[in-house]
Amino acid sequence: MKLSAISAALLLLSPLAQATTLDLNLQKTMPEIEKLYLDLHQSPELSYHEKETGQKLAKQLKQLGFTITDNVGGYGVVGIYKNGDGPTVMIRTDTDGLPIVEQTGKPYASKVTVTNDAGATVGVMHGCGHDIHMSSFIGTAQQLMTHKDQWQGTLMMVAQPAEEVGGGAKAMLKEGLFTKYPTPDHVIGLHVSASVPAGKVSMKTEYTMASVDSVDITVKGKGGHGAYPHTTIDPVVIASRIVLALQTITSRELSPLEPSVITVGSIHGGSKHNVISDEVKLQLTLRSYNPEVRLQQIAAIKRISKGIALSAGLDESLAPEVYVHEDESIPSTYNNPAQTNLVRSAIANAIGEDNVLETEAVMAGEDFGLYGRTEQHVPITLFWLGGVEPNQYDAAMQSGATLPSLHSSKFAPDYKKALPTGITAMSNAAVALFNKK
């Protein structure tokens, strides 16, 4: 038998070849979804303040026939629809905006300003595409309900708050997301991409996004007059030595095969030109994939900081204080290979193989990874939804120009092309998981 014939035979035997590809009538539903997108885009809410956003999503799901529980883990929403015997598939969206003044120049740009928890007036924008996520989420729910004769099981729609601060998934899980409700057999989500053209999706198996930790280091010293440094132990110098030494953790202590980022994003100390202060504060972000690497990073930061301080002559009682914000820590996102390959095949069947790209892992973080780190060991898959207007993408590729990134005040996804792609991709991925043999 020739190779092509063997391939054809295997394809016919494959459950993926016979998987259901939904016949979606998006022309009929897209005006409503686009209207929802524009509303969400123009009314963003900051993390832990997504009250009206949660209400809007709950209303949409309730109208579709879901049993709704709101205010879960803050302003989170859980919608459950039981459609006979079968697996439980959870689809997740995030709901919070960012403290950014939008500068896209779009006629529908957000003009929202609020007073944040620190008392400052800030703009608010869906600069990370959560409005795309939510609109695709509702569009997917519509399609799955319209085509519920083609799948069996329990559909679990979860609108999660506070993703941007790493708190929403933790809060919902703490309130019993996987115990008070049906425990999902599969969890899937999407994230809009600022580097993939609209109309396409991209994904990878295994590690796809990094763990994230925020770390504060308080460096102490013995202050005094800037003209008499010999009578002091200068914390600015100690902090400077620490900043440089921390770079050797990734370059000299960790395996070069293990991705690691240690960035000092903030350094503050002193108040006047001629005063040596008593204290300097450093703020760091740590990124990795492997949980063991994360522990190595933290242990090395503590050891190096203390060692440098003591070498400067400080007493051990004045050793630097290293504080890891465990409440904000999120794990890496690990796409279950078997599930992700099934999702990839289902999406390729629906939108075309050429529109499903392989991507590389990134060092950005997402608390979606927490859903795969529970004691239930639920397989998860997060894929990227192209958001860049195709002509803009092509022009940037030809000129070498940098496209506006996620969290940019100028990030404006091509929602008219991205939304139907996201709905088609997610709906077919869910049906493939429901019908998985």
* Mean pLDDT within 156-160: 98
Share above pLDDT 70 across residues of the chain, in percent, rounded to a whole number: 96
- Active-site residue (options: 50, 102, 163, 164): 163
pLDDT of residue 19: 62
**Per-residue burial over 290-319, b = 16 or more CB atoms within 10 Å of its CB, e = otherwise:** beebbebbbebbbebbbebbeebebeeebb
Cα distance between residue 420 and residue 424, in whole Å: 6
Q: Is 253 an active-site residue? A: no
163 is known as an active-site residue: yes
Percent of the chain with pLDDT over 90: 93
pLDDT tens, position by position, 354-402: 999 999 999 999 999 999 999 999 999 999 999 999 999 999 999 999 9
pLDDT band at 437 (very low <50, low <70, confident <90, very high): confident
What integer pLDDT is reported at residue 80 of this predicted model? 98
Given this model, what pLDDT does residue 20 score? 74
| Helix (H) or strand (E) run with residue 341 in it | helix 337-351
Whether residue 11 has pLDDT greater than 70: no
What local confidence, expressed as pLDDT, does residue 3 receive? 39
- Out of 70, 94, 96, 102, the active site residue is 96
CB-based contacts of 106: which residues, under 8 Å, 6+ apart? 412
**Whole-structure pTM value:** 0.91
Confidence of residue 39 (pLDDT cuts 50, 70, 90): very high
Report DSSP state, residue 331: P
CA distance 79 to 134: 14
What's the Cα-to-Cα distance from 221 to each of 109, 281, 302, rounded to whole Å?
48, 11, 17
Buried (b) or exposed (e) across 104-126, using 16+ Cβ within 10 A? beeeebbebebeeeeeeebbbbb
Cβ atoms 188, 90 nearer than 8 A: yes
Span 411-422, pLDDT tens digits: 999 999 999 999
Give dist(CA 136, CA 133) in Å, integer.
5
